Amino acid sequence: MVVQRLVDAYIIGLGDNSDNSELLEKLIECITSGDASLLELVQALGSYLASEEASRRSKGVHVLSEVLKGLPEAAIPTQAISRLVQFFCARLSDATCVPYVLTAINALVRLPAFSNQYSIDVLNALFKEVHVQSFQYSTRSTAYQLLELVMQNHPESAKQMGDDFVLGFAQMLDGEKDPRSLSVAFQLVPKIAALVDIKNNAEDIFDVIFCYFPITFKNRDGDPSAISAESLKAALRSAITCSPYFGEMAVKPLVSKTTATATSAKIDAFETLAAGTCTFSPDVYRKELESLVEQIREDVFMSSEESVVDAALETLEAVYSIIKPESTSSVPGSPMDTSDQIAVANDSSSPLDYVLKEAVFQLTADEIKNSEQIGRILRAAARSSPYNCSVISDAVIPIVIERLDSTEVLTVRRELMDVLNHVLSASCDVDRKAECLEADKINLLNIYRPDSSVPLDKEYSFLHITRLKGITLLVLMPDFLSGDEMAVALQTLARASIERNEDENVNKEATHLLIQLSQSKPEQIQTVVLPMFFSALREKIIAVQRVSHLLNALGAIGVSASKILIPVLNGLVEIVTSGELAPPHCLATVSTIRKMIEAIIVAKDGASICHELISSVVSPLSDWVYQIAKKSTGEHALSLLVLEIARTTVSTFSSLGSEEQQQYLEAMFARYQPVATAVQTEGVESGSSLVQLLPLFSSAICSCWPQTKLPVDDLAGFIGNLSAVAVATSSQIQRDVCFEIIASVVNKTSDSKQRSALTQTALDRADQAAEPCSLAHVLLRNWLARALVKCSDKRGYEMVSWLLEQITSASPHAAAAAEGFSIILGDHDWSVTTQTHGVIKVLSKQRFYATVVPQLTSQFQVGNDAVKTNLLVVLTNTVRHMPKSVLMNGVENVVPLLLSAIRLTEGGLKAASIRTIAMVIIESPDTVQNELVSSIVPLLIASLDQNGTKNSVEVRRTACDALALIPEKYIYPVVQSTRKDVLRALTTARDDRKRLVRQDATKAYNKWLSLGDS
């Protein structure tokens, strides 16, 4: 009775389109718990299942299928499965019940007791009784899912059905149009071909799937779950090429479709032909090879789409990889003169002759045409196999060598060498040396030997670059060059990179080729090339520009190959520490070392070599700068060197583990005891060499992990001493270093009570050491605010409130307090940063913005002009470091202040305010539309004046960029009244004394000029 009531209620709910999930759960629970049986459910549904009304039968089957789908395996008796299968097979002839019957069968197929015979019975009924394409997508999808489940769980039943299974599937798919169903069906075809012998019905199934080729489909924008056009093409391609039985039917129509005018269809045809080489017989390609090669040649020669050319060449390579030349005239190693090779080309007995015929004809003509295209085709064919590579090399290389010997025309020589390079490249790709290469080795070396008769100017640079590429290929050729010959070749490339050329592209190409070789020939690069670069750097008279080029080249070579990195770094360190370089060159070299280390550390497993970098790079550079500091060289040059070495220390030291960091710090404090003492010693002269070295200590200490223990006995005393020294010292370097260390230590202290105690210690010692409210006190609170705000400590906002009070009370240091907000939020090389393991909470900036900006807004309303100016500096320093998402929240309240900032500030602050306004124009143009004509545009126009003292180059460029945005975001009527003024101002700006400003002004002018045309 309970089951009957639930069934009746469920069916009533179906009629009312109600949510029946609760009733369904009760039915499933009732059967699962044993309170009722599946037989009782069928009996309760009896009047519905046997009804003469289609709708009642449909509802009855619907209930039964939903219950079966939700029941666990144990709740369905094994003896019931047979009767259920018979029932559902019979119901497949009832069109109204089919959707629910398929759902129920899918649930049964998953059961362990569902036998192969049941699968056969179900599929026979499906193929016989159901016209799948007459149903909606959901039903068709369930039918395809049933086939997949049968093949997955009962593969023997599909094999036993054989041809019936294949024909049934073809019948189901015929007429399908929905891309979702097609994607599933296409993926089923390879599974069917692998499971069932489709030989007898290959044509039937092929005709059904190939009618969709080439498939065109545009997926829905913004729907990540939608089927993509590429995935649908890939599924169809896999289906077409999954069986060798499809080859005879597929290749010819695919070749004909390569002549399509649509780029996507042409590429799809080429890619499908290439994919078919994995399964189709070579004979089916051989029949169509001539027409295919002709079409590929046409596309390579004529197509403007590089994607088409790439697809065509990949297809050529794939096809020739399975077709082996059989002509005895093309046996590798058989000597042939030019006439013999032409004869071979005219004899189409070998498949490769379709390629060689045109190539030989062009290479022996008086005027060579399309040399680049010929070379690419030869390379693709030669790359297909070592054998084919030998055949093509033996046929082409002697012709090219003979032509090079007989011509002096540089353009012809370059074209011939270009073809030769492509053929040699194929030999490198297949890692096989053609027989003819050994015989023509002397000729090849002579061809690529630098020719002093060719001028080193831009007109002939293409020839030099082609020659350098050829030399590289000879080096890469397996077992071709002897050790001495390879050394000469590498020296040639190194000289081309090092020596000055009128066309810098020659230098760049030579460097690029050395980078390529460093990955395959690292030992030779290390022994031959690197010494030449180091020797060039050691020259006594060397231009800055050349030093920059040499360092860039060495940096690129070192980073490209791990085996080269340490030798390059060691060589550069040795040059720096030898004292042979001028100070500017030393700085550039150390900067290159830092950039190389930064690049390698971000790479995978880059941190594993940091310990070696500390000992081989950081320590020697630190020792060297410590020694030269004693000689009292120029303060500025020394400080720049120290800063670069400190940045290098950060890159390596921050990647070490905490224990390694601790060991290094202890050794550092012991080795540089005078410097370590000077960090926390008052009265050190600002010009002292020890002071110049302090950033080395700051960078190391600030780069530590929070758990790294500093080599000091009393941390609180250490922080207190630093604070006292910072406020009392006359050295800006010493003061900054002390503040950096204090901020880093406070920020990384995990215990809130200890962090608060350290903060208070720093404040108390500062008050004891100097008069409160001095400039140093202001800076101390800026740095403490940085440390505490980033870790979301409430004391950080006490520091911020103190600073704002200094600003609003017209303190003597109000301007410094305002500028110091860039310390709180801005970037730094090492103190309290993500790279150096600073504790930075995710929402720290959002909290700062929400706390500080309302205070600025309220204080701005009541402050005098001086206070307003400083508040605007605070605002600008705040917004320039905020994420876009934070700024756009309540931006309408900040816009008036930003406009005031544009009026009253200058330099970088003014530019930052303009950039923020520009961001608002991009993200929310309606927000500032009312102020656009009256306030924003006039301020931007005023910012273009190159004679204005507040308008730096950065300000003028930023104003041009902002003006250029307005025509893109606003319609003509909104800005019509100001268009003439803007054009007049931009016309003047186009004559600015700075080229970059002129360029930006011209772009903005063109946009305003075309405003309203459309």
pTM across the whole model: 0.75
The predicted pLDDT at position 346 comes to 44
Angle at 211 between CA 206 and CA 214, to 5 degrees: 115
> Contact at 8 Å (CB) between 644 and 695?
no
- 983 phi/psi in degrees, rounded to 5: -65, -40
The DSSP code sequence of 164-195 is HHHHHHHHHHTT---HHHHHHHHHHHHHHHHH
- Taking 3-state DSSP, the helix, strand and coil percentages for the chain, each rounded to the nearest 5, stand at 75, 0, 25
Give dist(CA 786, CA 780) in Å, integer.
10
The predicted pLDDT at position 480 comes to 84
Q: What's the one-letter identity of residue 364?
A: T
Q: Which residue, among 294, 228, 219, 225, has the nearest Cα to 258 in the 3D structure? A: 294
The DSSP code sequence of 631-685 is TT--HHHHHHHHHHHHHHHHHHHTTS-HHHHHHHHHHHHHHTHHHHHHHT-TT--
Q: How many CB atoms lie within 10 A of CB 909?
A: 23
> Contact at 8 Å (CB) between 542 and 498?
no
pLDDT digits (tens, 9 = 90+) for 861-898: 888 888 888 888 888 888 888 888 887 777 788 888 88
Give dist(CA 401, CA 405) in Å, integer.
6
> Contact at 8 Å (CB) between 779 and 739?
yes
Which whole number is the average pLDDT over 65-71? 82
Chain length of the chain: 1014
The predicted pLDDT at position 275 comes to 93
The predicted pLDDT at position 317 comes to 93
Q: What's the one-letter identity of residue 503?
A: D
Helix (H) or strand (E) holding 746, with range, is helix 732-748
pLDDT band of residue 847 (cuts 50, 70, 90) is very high
Which whole number is the average pLDDT over 722-734? 89
pLDDT band of residue 828 (cuts 50, 70, 90) is very high
**Mean pLDDT rounded to a whole number for the chain:** 86
Residue 453 has pLDDT above 60, yes or no: no
Helix (H) or strand (E) holding 102, with range, is helix 98-109
pLDDT band of residue 348 (cuts 50, 70, 90) is very low
The predicted pLDDT at position 949 comes to 84
Question: 306-322 and 371-382 helices cross at what angle (nearest 10)?
Answer: 40
HSE-up of 688 (CA within 13 Å, CB side)? 19
Q: Is 946 left (phi over 0), alpha (psi -120 to 50) or beta?
A: alpha
CA 686 from chain center: how many Å?
47
3-class DSSP string for 767-827: HHHCCCCCHHHHHHHHHHHHHHHHCCCHHHHHHHHHHHHHHHCCCCCHHHHHHCHHHHHCC
Which whole number is the average pLDDT over 727-736? 89
1.25.10.10, 1.20.58.100, 1.10.150.120, 2.60.40.1260: CATH of 845-1009: 1.25.10.10
The predicted pLDDT at position 626 comes to 86
Give dist(CA 100, CA 955) in Å, integer.
70
The DSSP code sequence of 879-946 is HTTS-HHHHTTTGGGTHHHHHHHHHH--HHHHHHHHHHHHHHHHH-GGGGHHHIIIIIHHHHHHTT-T
Q: What's the one-letter identity of residue 282?
A: P
The contacts of residue 140 (CB under 8 Å, 6+ apart) are 132, 133, 176, 178, 181
DSSP H stretches of helix in 680-714: 689-692, 694-702
The predicted pLDDT at position 23 comes to 73
pLDDT band of residue 24 (cuts 50, 70, 90) is low
DSSP, res 977:
G
Residue predicted with more confidence, 76 or 597: 597
Give dist(CA 691, CA 675) in Å, integer.
7
Question: 386-406 and 338-346 helices cross at what angle (nearest 10)?
Answer: 130
Angle at 17 between CA 11 and CA 23, to 5 degrees: 50
pLDDT digits (tens, 9 = 90+) for 433-452: 556 677 777 888 888 877 65
Residue 326 has pLDDT above 70, yes or no: no
Q: What's the one-letter identity of residue 390?
A: S
> Contact at 8 Å (CB) between 645 and 691?
no
The predicted pLDDT at position 436 comes to 63
Give dist(CA 212, CA 178) in Å, integer.
12
Domain spans of the chain?
A: 241-323, 324-432, 656-839, 845-1009
Peptide bond just before 214 cis, omega within 30 deg? yes
Question: 461-476 and 483-498 helices cross at what angle (nearest 10)?
Answer: 150
Which whole number is the average pLDDT over 530-541? 88
The predicted pLDDT at position 310 comes to 93
Give CB contacts under 8 A, 24+ apart, made by 850-855: 851/797, 851/800, 852/800, 852/804, 852/878, 853/878, 853/890, 853/893, 853/894, 855/804
The predicted pLDDT at position 334 comes to 43
pLDDT digits (tens, 9 = 90+) for 178-226: 888 899 999 999 999 999 989 888 999 999 999 989 888 776 655 555 6
Residue 336 has pLDDT above 60, yes or no: no
pLDDT band of residue 349 (cuts 50, 70, 90) is low
Q: Which of 401-405, 770-774, 780-784, 896-900 has the lowest mean pLDDT?
A: 770-774
Q: Which of 119-133, 293-307, 873-887, 993-1007 has the lowest mean pLDDT?
A: 873-887
The predicted pLDDT at position 337 comes to 46
pLDDT digits (tens, 9 = 90+) for 981-998: 999 999 999 999 999 999
pLDDT band of residue 390 (cuts 50, 70, 90) is confident
pLDDT band of residue 327 (cuts 50, 70, 90) is very low
The predicted pLDDT at position 226 comes to 67
Which whole number is the average pLDDT over 95-107? 88
**Structure token pair of residue 542:** 């060397």
> Contact at 8 Å (CB) between 839 and 791?
yes
